[in-house]
Structure 1
């Protein structure tokens, strides 16, 4: 018996609230489908349903597109139950959908296409291995990315608000979010706060904020630019000042959160076998992004070994049963 005849193939279309599964045999015949909620108590229901189509000697193989996101809980459950679970690249299932003469769009159809890819590429697909460490790294990377995007958005907002208060603000500092710059915006969010401030007083404040990198000359230049800009005070000035101070505080907090997240990444990454940071140009963030995408690289090697083992078995088939040529027609 050809080894693909020993399985039924379960393609699962994954969503946040529910999953849809379609079961097919080695001839691409649809045997059944089921929709379950995305919660552990419903996963046993899926396995029970699939078991109905597993006659003696037949075992199920599950194909999941997203074992790190919406499908992680299901993948963990199936692996814990010693089921065969494969990761199906979304590009492959997309190609399968597009290869059909008529385009359909439904959860059941998507699951059917995933099942077909699972059958056709059974030897190539890596085993699902939803280990907590790689999932955690992925979550930390996603969190850091979200904070960085928020910080970039804050900088754009600060540019906009400063243009109302200080028309020449870009000439004050090289970077509007440098240490000295943020300290200045926080204490002097608008020119009216500088009315009784002299160059020496401002210079002293900036020196403390910048670790003695700002000079009295810089303070004089800022005060001169403010004077040339003219009056910018308007109604509701207190609220407008509040916006700038609030943004500065948020930017500082975002930087601190980024540092904390990167420290967590370092701690978790230290528990993996990857040593990507030892390569030139790869820091902890880039390394973590790669590891989050790849996961456990050993699962790819297992898939390759399984494929080689099957080739060796087929080379030894002589007479009776299925020949190599006959077997190839099943795919």
Structure 2
């Protein structure tokens, strides 16, 4: 009763704030621009309405459009809570007549703020984690674009070189791109000898190209026959344009990965010490989880990732069901990590992680399906990732001797 509550609906150009008292009665409304110079006006408006009472702000999107406001309020020692958008949406839909406006959205955020004040997490926009998140998001976007370009490149090259897959081990490798940029279609290579082709490919292949490889390429081109058609110059331009974009994308991705590698150690996390986690994967975990102190336990992290089961039932019948909510990006990261742990090395067929492989096999022997066993492993990995981030420690894989000794004593892995 000694506070007023400010629910804020956030947008790209402007924000709308609604002031409520402890009884959820609307005291006023304030609209302001999404720019730092306008943020002090919100504090002044709240102080005018509060008349000496404490002020608590509730923001939905503290990682996107609302991040500058959240950072400003926290820097000015204001109490700020993160309001899950699904909570405000559920409150909006619970009304008999569902409507939507900036003012009503802000009011719904305020209602959630009043009702669940003790449960809502404090907003803590840390620039370091946010910068890593932005780098990871940009890199992932470029990777998706890169995959699309590679697919386009395959289509275009297949028109000109039907046997192109046999030329090089990697179609988008440095040597292959140099070749197709110089010879986008077979008619460009007519009259080129084996020695001349090898001489050209020596530099991009780091002097690994042999006469045998050059001879094989020329034979395959000859066996394919003539593929030249009308408007061939335009088709050649498309191939070269696609190659230039692929090369540019590769450079941007490498540059982003370099910056990520510089920022990541500053967090103190050492996730890369675990098998299956490289610098990029570790950065993805940090981008989705952020500051691990946000989560009071590994159980909360598991619920956030949608890994913990959901209890559904009524009366005397209750059953755990697979959660289909939570952070799906983080869920996918744990799934991929679990698959890497139970994989086996080529040739020797030795498990990548004997400890987790034994755990996975045991779960299947207990009657669980492969997917269920992987979910169990994901839950176990959640505990480990939480511990590694909480303690900023290295991962130590259990030795095979300790594992065998524990199993002989009846200790389950």
Give the structure-1-normalised TM-score.
Answer: 0.82
1:152-167 matches, cutoff 5 A: 152-167=147-162
- In the alignment, structure 1 segments of 5+ residues that lack a partner are 302-331
Q: Does 1:51 align with 2:47?
A: yes
Q: Does 1:185 align with 2:180?
A: yes
Q: Does 1:149 align with 2:161?
A: no
Q: For the residues of structure 1 that align with 2:6 and 2:200, how far apart are their CA atoms?
A: 67
Name the structure 2 match of 1:223: 218
Q: For the residues of structure 2 that align with 1:66 and 1:51, how far apart are their CA atoms?
A: 23
Name the structure 1 match of 2:375: none
1:32-111 matches, cutoff 5 A: 32-56=28-52, 58-111=53-106
8 Å contact 1:127–1:300 — kept in the other structure? no
Deviation, 1:205, is 3.2
RMSD of aligned Cα (Å): 2.0
8 Å contact 1:63–1:85 — kept in the other structure? yes
Q: For the residues of structure 1 that align with 2:247 and 2:94, how far apart are their CA atoms?
A: 51
Q: Does 1:28 align with 2:33?
A: no
8 Å contact 1:126–1:300 — kept in the other structure? no
- Secondary structure in structure 2 of the residue aligned to 1:12: strand
Query: Residues 281 and 141 (structure 1 numbering): CA distance in 2 closer, same or farther, change over 3 Å?
Result: same
Deviation, 1:254, is 1.5
Cα displacement string for residues 120-165 of structure 1 (whole angstroms, at most 9, x for unaligned residues): 2211222111121111111111221122122112112212221222
> Which has the greater radius of gyration?
1
Cα displacement string for residues 46-71 of structure 1 (whole angstroms, at most 9, x for unaligned residues): 22222222133x21111111112111
Q: For the residues of structure 2 that align with 1:256 and 1:171, how far apart are their CA atoms?
A: 26
Cα displacement string for residues 261-317 of structure 1 (whole angstroms, at most 9, x for unaligned residues): 11111111121132222222222222222222222233445xxxxxxxxxxxxxxxx
Name the structure 2 match of 1:123: 118
Q: Does 1:13 align with 2:9?
A: yes
Deviation, 1:207, is 4.3
Q: For the residues of structure 1 that align with 2:94 and 2:279, how far apart are their CA atoms?
A: 41
1:265-304 matches, cutoff 5 A: 265-301=260-296
1:239-278 matches, cutoff 5 A: 239-278=234-273
Deviation, 1:190, is 0.8
Query: Residues 11 and 181 (structure 1 numbering): CA distance in 2 closer, same or farther, change over 3 Å?
Result: same
Deviation, 1:77, is 1.3
Q: For the residues of structure 2 that align with 1:151 and 1:113, how far apart are their CA atoms?
A: 41
Deviation, 1:84, is 0.4
Q: For the residues of structure 2 that align with 1:59 and 1:281, how far apart are their CA atoms?
A: 48
- Secondary structure in structure 2 of the residue aligned to 1:100: coil
Q: For the residues of structure 1 that align with 2:273 and 2:120, how far apart are their CA atoms?
A: 30
Q: For the residues of structure 2 that align with 1:111 and 1:242, how far apart are their CA atoms?
A: 53
Give the structure-2-normalised TM-score.
Answer: 0.67
Deviation, 1:21, is 1.2
Name the structure 2 match of 1:137: 132
Between 1:222-231 and 1:71-80, the stretch displaced more is 222-231
Q: For the residues of structure 2 that align with 1:209 and 1:292, how far apart are their CA atoms?
A: 36
Q: For the residues of structure 2 that align with 1:262 and 1:82, how far apart are their CA atoms?
A: 35
| Number of equivalent positions | 296
8 Å contact 1:6–1:59 — kept in the other structure? yes
